[in-house]
Amino acid sequence: MLAGDKSLRYFNFFLMVVVTTVLMLPILHALNRSVEPPGGLGNYIRVLTDARLPRFYLNSIIVSAGTILLTAGCASLAAFAFSKLTFPFRNTLLLTLLVTLLVPFTTMIIPLFVLIRGFDLYNTYLGLILPLAAFGVPFHTILIANYMNGLPNELMDAAYIDGCSDFGAFWRIMLPLSMPVQAVVIVLTFLGSWNNYLLPLILLRDQEMHTVALAAVSWANDAGALSQFGEVSYDTLFAALFLLAAPTLIVFLLFQRVFIGSVTSGAIK
Amino acid sequence: MLGRRRNKVKWGAYLFLLPAFTLFAVFVAYPIGFNGYLSFHNWNGVSDTWQWVGLEHFERMFGERTIRLSLRNASFFFIGHLVNMAIALLLAVLLNNPIPGRNLARTLIFIPFVVAGSIVAVTWQTIYDPNLGPLNAILRGVGLDSLAQNWLADPKLAIWSIVVVGIWAGLGFNLVVYLASLQSIDQSLRDAARVDGAGRLQVFRFLTFPLLRNTHLVLIMLGIIGAVQGFEVPFIMTGGGPYGATTTLAIEVYKNVFNFSEFGYGAAVSVFTMVILVMLILLQRFLLREQRID
Amino acid sequence: MTERSLWAPRLLIIVLFALGFAVAQDVTIEIVGWGSGQAVVYEEFMNQNPSIAVTEQMMPFGDLIVFLKTRFLAGEAPDIVQLQPGHLIEFRDNLLPLDDLIASDAELDLANFVQPALTITIVDGMLLGIPQHPIVSGMLWYNKDIFDELGLQVPTDYDELKAVAQACRDAGHLPLILNGGDAWNRLNVVEQLFAYFAPGKKAQAVAGEIPWTDPDLVAGMAFFETMVEDGVFQDGVMGADFGVMTAFSEGNGCIVVQGSWAKGGQLIGIRPEGTVGLTLPMPFPDVTDSGLAWMPALGTGHSFGINKDSPNIEAAWEVMKQIIRLGDPLANYPVLIPVYASGVDSPVMARANNMGQLEATTAFELAAWDAEGAFLNDAWGFAEVRDAIAEAASGVATGQVSAEVAMREVQRVAERVLGR
What stretch of H or E contains C253?
strand C253-257
Supply angle C-alpha B82, B84, B86, rounded to 5: 70
Inter-chain CB proximity C400 and B131 less than 8 Å: no
When pLDDT is averaged across residues C134-145 and rounded to a whole number, the result is 84
Residues 6+ apart with CB under 8 A from C202: C191, C194, C195, C217, C375
Is C398 within 8 Å of chain B by CB?
yes
Residues 6+ apart with CB under 8 A from A261: none
CATH topology of domain C137-298+373-419: D-Maltodextrin-Binding Protein; domain 2 (3.40.190)
Q: Looking at chain C, which residue has its C-alpha nearest residue B153?
A: C239
Alpha carbons B270 and C62: distance in angstroms, whole number: 20
SS3 content of chain B, % helix, strand, coil (to 5): 75, 0, 25
- Name the CATH superfamily housing domain A54-268: MetI-like (1.10.3720.10)
Kindly report the number of other CB atoms within 10 A of residue C92's CB atom. Answer: 14
The residue extents of the domains of chain A are 54-268
User: Are C27 and C315 spatial neighbours (Cβ–Cβ below 8 Å)?
Assistant: yes
Q: Looking at chain B, which residue has its C-alpha nearest residue A77?
A: B16
Is A86 within 8 Å of chain C by CB?
no
Is C243 within 8 Å of chain B by CB?
yes
pLDDT class for A231, splitting at 50, 70, 90?
Answer: very low
When pLDDT is averaged across residues A171-198 and rounded to a whole number, the result is 84
Q: Global pTM?
A: 0.78
Reduce the DSSP state of residue C28 to 3 states and report it.
Answer: strand
CATH topology of domain B55-179+208-287: MetI-like fold (1.10.3720)
Alpha carbons B125 and B230: distance in angstroms, whole number: 17
Q: Looking at chain C, which residue has its C-alpha nearest residue A234?
A: C246
Alpha carbons C265 and C334: distance in angstroms, whole number: 6
Is A105 within 8 Å of chain C by CB?
no
Report chain C's C-alpha Rg in angstroms: 23
Q: Which amino acid is at B120?
A: V
Inter-chain CB proximity C74 and A222 less than 8 Å: no
Is residue B236 packed enough to be buried (19+ CB in 10 Å), middle (13-18) or exposed (0-12)? buried
Q: Min CA distance, A221 vs chain C (Å)?
A: 6
Which of B47, B154, B260 is best to mutate for the C interface (most C CBs within 10 A)? B260
DSSP at A107: G
DSSP at C129: -
pLDDT at B293: 43
pLDDT class for B183, splitting at 50, 70, 90?
Answer: confident
Neighbours of chain C (3+ CB pairs under 8 A): A, B
Supply angle C-alpha B231, B236, B238, rounded to 5: 95
Please tell me the number of Cα atoms within 13 Å of A39 on its side-chain side.
25
Inter-chain CB proximity C67 and A202 less than 8 Å: yes
Alpha carbons B165 and B112: distance in angstroms, whole number: 10
User: Are C351 and C264 spatial neighbours (Cβ–Cβ below 8 Å)?
Assistant: no
Predicted confidence (pLDDT) per residue in A90-131, tens digit = 889 988 887 777 676 666 776 787 678 778 888 899 999 999
Which of B114, B190, B237, B272 is best to mutate for the A interface (most A CBs within 10 A)? B114
Inter-chain CB proximity A253 and B107 less than 8 Å: yes
Is A248 within 8 Å of chain C by CB?
no
CATH topology of domain C4-133+299-351: D-Maltodextrin-Binding Protein; domain 2 (3.40.190)
Of residues C70, C242, C271, nearest to A113 (C-beta): C70
Tell me which chain C residues have a C-beta less than 8 angstroms from the C-beta of A230: 266, 271-272, 275
Residues 6+ apart with CB under 8 A from B285: none
Predicted confidence (pLDDT) per residue in C178-202, tens digit = 888 878 888 989 999 999 999 989 9
Q: By a Cβ cutoff of 8 Å, what residues of chain C touch chain A?
A: 35-36, 57-60, 63, 66-67, 69-70, 73-74, 76, 242, 246, 262-266, 270-272, 275, 330, 332, 351
Is C397 within 8 Å of chain B by CB?
yes
Tell me which chain A residues have a C-beta less than 8 angstroms from the C-beta of B249: 104
User: Are B178 and B216 spatial neighbours (Cβ–Cβ below 8 Å)?
Assistant: no
When pLDDT is averaged across residues B103-125 and rounded to a whole number, the result is 84
Is A225 within 8 Å of chain C by CB?
yes
Percent of chain C beyond pLDDT 70? 77
Phi, psi of C290 (to 5 degrees): -95, 0
pLDDT greater than 80 at residue C57: yes
Kindly report the number of other CB atoms within 10 A of residue A69's CB atom. Answer: 14
DSSP at C340: B
Is residue B104 packed enough to be buried (19+ CB in 10 Å), middle (13-18) or exposed (0-12)? exposed
Of residues B12, B122, B253, nearest to A106 (C-beta): B253
Of residues B122, B186, B267, nearest to A107 (C-beta): B267
Percent of chain B beyond pLDDT 90? 26
Alpha carbons B196 and B219: distance in angstroms, whole number: 32
pLDDT at C363: 78
Tell me which chain C residues have a C-beta less than 8 angstroms from the C-beta of B246: none
Distance in Å from the first CA to the final CA of chain A: 24
Poorest-pLDDT segment among B107-111, C23-27, C77-81: C23-27
Nearest to B177 by CA among A140, A134, A105: A140
DSSP at C232: -
Alpha carbons C354 and C365: distance in angstroms, whole number: 17
Kindly report the number of other CB atoms within 10 A of residue C9's CB atom. Answer: 9
Q: Is ipTM over 0.90? A: no
Predicted confidence (pLDDT) per residue in C360-401, tens digit = 777 787 788 778 888 877 778 788 899 899 999 999 999 899
Q: Min CA distance, B130 vs chain C (Å)?
A: 6
Alpha carbons C371 and C394: distance in angstroms, whole number: 29
Alpha carbons C177 and C168: distance in angstroms, whole number: 11
pLDDT at A107: 65
Inter-chain CB proximity B184 and A268 less than 8 Å: yes
Supply angle C-alpha C401, C407, C411, rounded to 5: 135
Interface of C with B in 27-66 (CB under 8 A): 62, 65-66
Residues 6+ apart with CB under 8 A from A20: B105, B108, B109
Alpha carbons B121 and B233: distance in angstroms, whole number: 5
User: Are A118 and B4 spatial neighbours (Cβ–Cβ below 8 Å)?
Assistant: no
The residue extents of the domains of chain C are 4-133+299-351, 137-298+373-419
Kindly report the number of other CB atoms within 10 A of residue B83's CB atom. Answer: 15
Q: Looking at chain A, which residue has its C-alpha nearest residue B173?
A: A188
Distance in Å from the first CA to the final CA of chain C: 65
Inter-chain CB proximity B94 and A16 less than 8 Å: yes
pLDDT at C305: 92
Q: Looking at chain A, which residue has its C-alpha nearest residue B179?
A: A263
What stretch of H or E contains B189?
helix B187-195
Inter-chain CB proximity B10 and A24 less than 8 Å: no
Nearest to C299 by CA among C136, C140, C162: C136
Poorest-pLDDT segment among A68-82, B45-59, C35-49, C121-135: C35-49
Is A201 within 8 Å of chain C by CB?
yes
Q: Which of A221-230, A240-249, C168-177 tops mean pLDDT?
A: C168-177
pLDDT at A159: 83
Which of A228, A237, A238 is best to mutate for the C interface (most C CBs within 10 A)? A228
Please tell me the number of Cα atoms within 13 Å of B186 on its side-chain side.
7
Kindly report the number of other CB atoms within 10 A of residue B128's CB atom. Answer: 28
pLDDT greater than 60 at residue A260: no
Instruction: Provide the H-helix boundaries in C300-382.
Output: 313-326, 347-351, 355-370
Estimate to the nearest angstrom the gap between the alpha carbon of B218 and the chain centroid: 11
Report chain B's C-alpha Rg in angstroms: 23
Inter-chain CB proximity B107 and A96 less than 8 Å: no
- Helix orientation angle between A53-84 and A212-226, rounded to the nearest 10 degrees: 140
Of residues C73, C243, C387, nearest to B45 (C-beta): C73
Alpha carbons B45 and B52: distance in angstroms, whole number: 14
What stretch of H or E contains B68?
helix B65-95
Of residues B44, B46, B241, nearest to C238 (C-beta): B241
Inter-chain CB proximity C236 and B239 less than 8 Å: no
Instruction: Provide the H-helix boundaries in C74-214.
Output: 99-103, 115-119, 144-150, 158-170, 183-197, 201-206
Instruction: Name the residue with higher pLDDT: C102 or B165.
Output: B165
Inter-chain CB proximity A268 and B253 less than 8 Å: no
Strands (E), chain A: none
Is A208 within 8 Å of chain C by CB?
no
pLDDT greater than 90 at residue C161: yes
When pLDDT is averaged across residues B246-270 and rounded to a whole number, the result is 85
* CA dist list (Å): C54 to C39, C42, C51, C76: 9, 6, 10, 16
Which of B1, B14, B28 is best to mutate for the A interface (most A CBs within 10 A)? B28
User: Are C286 and C103 spatial neighbours (Cβ–Cβ below 8 Å)?
Assistant: no
